[in-house]
Each structure stands twice: as structure tokens, then as C-alpha cells.
């Protein structure tokens, strides 16, 4: 069975602060994908990143960066110099690596509130 844990239910930061959202996962699969999605108040899911289990390189995209550590089954997400527009619920998700579409198991989400 797959499981994704996002222990932080809600985080509040002041604009320009850095913030890290934690994600810990469990899976019996040796190969798998990890994802992060952003869900703004409108409800639509915005894809942020996909990482396969073969690739443990950290990734940076603008103010966003991701730290994948297979040894601790974690895939943490850091926003540098946060902005009000970053306020949203962020979901970490996991899927099997089957070569075809397979279901996503989502964490419970972390609500990020960025204030001025």
C-alpha cells in the first residue's frame, strides 16, 4: 500500500520568508513517481514537479526547489522569498511506475498562508 504524509497542516509566513513543506512517503514499489501540486482557492490543481525514484538530484525552478532523499523517503519542497501569490494548499503525491497511467495517492495537504 502507498501512503503520503504531510505532517504540516497549516503554515503561516510573512512575505519574503523561506518556507519548507515536508513530505514523507511509503511504498513497496522499487520504482515510483513523486509529485507536488498547488491548489489555489479556485480549486484547480496546478502541477509543479514530477520526480522519478531513479533520480535523486535536487531540482530548482525559480523560487522553488525540491529535495528528494530516498534514504529517508522524503520529498520536501522549499519556496524561497515567499510571496502572497504562493498562498494555497500544496499536495505531495505518489504513484507507481508502471509505464502506463496509474493512480495518484495524495497527502493530506499543507495550507500555506503568506501575509504582507
Partner 1 sequence: GAVVSQHPSRVICKSGTSVKIECRSLDFQATTMFWYRQFPKKSLMLMATSNEGSKATYEQGVEKDKFLINHASLTLSTLTVTSAHPEDSSFYICSASGSGSPYNEQFFGPGTRLTVL
Whole-angstrom distance, CA of residue 5 vs CA of residue 7: 6
Stretch that binds partner 1, among 12-20, 22-30, 71-79, 95-103 (CB under 8 A): 95-103
**Piece of the chain touching partner 1 by CB under 8 A; list 11-19, 39-47, 57-65, 78-86:** 39-47
Whose cell is 530516498? That residue is 70
How far is it, in rounded angstroms, from Cα 25 to Cα 4?
Answer: 4
Asked if residue 23 lies in contact with residue 6, where contact means CB atoms within 8 angstroms, the answer is yes
Work out whether 95 is an interface residue with partner 1 (CB under 8 A). Answer: yes
Angle CA 50–53–56, to nearest 5: 85
Q: Are 94 and 34 in contact (CB under 8 A)?
A: yes
3 lines the binding site for partner 1 (CB under 8 A): no
Task: Answer yes or no whether residue 45 interacts with partner 1 by CB under 8 A.
Answer: yes
For residue 106, state whether it binds partner 1 (rule: CB under 8 A).
Answer: yes
| CA–CA separation, 111 and 41 (whole Å) | 11
Q: Which stretch binds partner 1 (CB under 8 A): 11-19, 40-48, 57-65, 74-82?
A: 40-48
In the complex with partner 1, which residue's Cβ is closer, 16 or 50? 50
List interacting residues with partner 1 (CB under 8 A).
33, 37, 42-45, 47, 50, 52, 91, 95, 97-109, 111
Amino acid at each position: 500500500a502507498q501512503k503520503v504524509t504531510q505532517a504540516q497542516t497549516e503554515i503561516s509566513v510573512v512575505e519574503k520568508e523561506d518556507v519548507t513543506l515536508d513530505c514523507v512517503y511509503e511504498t513497496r514499489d522499487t520504482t515510483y513517481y513523486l509529485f507536488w501540486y498547488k491548489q489555489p482557492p479556485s480549486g484547480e490543481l496546478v502541477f509543479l514537479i514530477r520526480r522519478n525514484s531513479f533520480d535523486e538530484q535536487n531540482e530548482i525552478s525559480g523560487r522553488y526547489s525540491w529535495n528528494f532523499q530516498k534514504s529517508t523517503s522524503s520529498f520536501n519542497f522549499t519556496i524561497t522569498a515567499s510571496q502572497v501569490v504562493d498562498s494555497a494548499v500544496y499536495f505531495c503525491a505518489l504513484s507507481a511506475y508502471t509505464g502506463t497511467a496509474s493512480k495518484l495517492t495524495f497527502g493530506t495537504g499543507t495550507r500555506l498562508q503568506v501575509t504582507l
